[in-house]
Amino acid sequence: MVGAILLCVAFLSIRRPKQIGSRPVIFEIPLGQSEKFKVIMVWDEWEGVRSKERIQIIQETYKDKADDLSLALGVTYKRRYQ
């Protein structure tokens, strides 16, 4: 999980260098008895990043588990309550 955080910070620091600081909350949700899982990353640094880019960043972060990642979702703290 720490690797996932560091990789996402690195990706976003390239895209938005002035706004790095907070840490994401990452939920890895297993799907039944299989190795498959969903990832939901709640992070205010997603503000201004398009949904498609968020997904690509999370997928790149989990590239070593790409076959098992069934859903990648990046949302801000504000959005998680809507």
Domain count, the chain: 1
> Which portions of the chain are predicted below pLDDT 50?
2, 13-20
Domain membership of residue 17 as a residue range: 2-80
pLDDT value at residue 79: 60
Distance from C-alpha of 3 to C-alpha of 39, rounded to nearest angstrom: 14
pTM: 0.69
Q: What is the CATH number of the domain that holds 76?
A: 3.30.300
Distance from C-alpha of 43 to C-alpha of 74, rounded to nearest angstrom: 7
For 74, phi and psi rounded to 5 degrees? Answer: -115, 125
pLDDT value at residue 78: 75
